[in-house]
Amino acid sequence: MKAARRLMARLNRNLIRPQDAARLPPSARRQPQAWWRAAAANEPRHIHKSHPQAACFDVYSDATPDGWGAVCIERESKATVILGARWPRRADNINAAETRAITMALSELRPRFPPGCNIHLHVDNTSALASVERRRARSYAVNEELHRLLPYLDEYQVTASYIASAANPADAPSRANQRHRHSTLRHGSGGAPGQELLKERGWEPSTLVETNNETQNLLPRPSTRNSGNVATVGRC
């Protein structure tokens, strides 16, 4: 929309003619091309009916310019998975990074999700939350991340709601292994808000879970004999 408004503004100022070819930037072309490919494929949408006995998971996600973190809690067993990693390069759009953090969390947790399960996302970024609820965004960068997230939203029964940053337990793993700890230190001696919340819930690590090698560990090691992993499982 921004690219279209700029073109119309140039047309109104007689800088271009109506018959001139519209030269859109690559970021503006990707969105219509993706819509066209989806419409041309005309694939049927699979509606997954929610079963009353389906497993329910609460997934908290958070992102910083340097990394992302997530906490997944199964409601019935209270089994908890905590994971996070650094971005390959520093993110310059925090809204896109927050949306990407949701995708990374669901991607890493996918082996643990049974088919048709209910997943409730807790997000502390209103732009990322709105894009998940509407399945579209005004920002090209957020839309690009949202396209990677949509398959997961279609595969499971996903709902989302806002959570304040101070109450988000994913805040701690998203900051745990950053080179610059200024943001964490500003929260006081107790660390980031999520660290205090995990302490209040009585979380204790028990097992480490192997994940792919594309991410690095952001969590403090529960013991020296465990290494090379990014996700920790415990119980609330």
* Predicted TM-score (pTM) above 0.75: no
- Which residues have C-beta within 8 Å of that of residue 89, sequence separation ≥ 6? none
How far is 129 from 174, CA to CA, in rounded Å?
18
Question: pLDDT at residue 62 above 90?
Answer: yes
The reported pLDDT for the residue numbered 198 is 47
How far is 235 from 203, CA to CA, in rounded Å?
6
Q: Which DSSP category does 166 fall into?
A: G
User: Residue 138, CB half-sphere, CA atoms under 13 Å: how many?
Assistant: 6
The reported pLDDT for the residue numbered 178 is 52
Nearest CA-CA partner of 160 in 135, 124, 129: 129
Place of tokens 């732009």: 127
Question: pLDDT at residue 31 above 50?
Answer: yes
pLDDT in tens, 131-185: 899 888 888 888 888 888 888 888 888 999 999 988 899 888 888 755 433 333 3
Domains of the chain: 56-235 (3.30.420.10)
pLDDT in tens, 80-112: 889 888 888 888 899 999 999 999 999 999 988
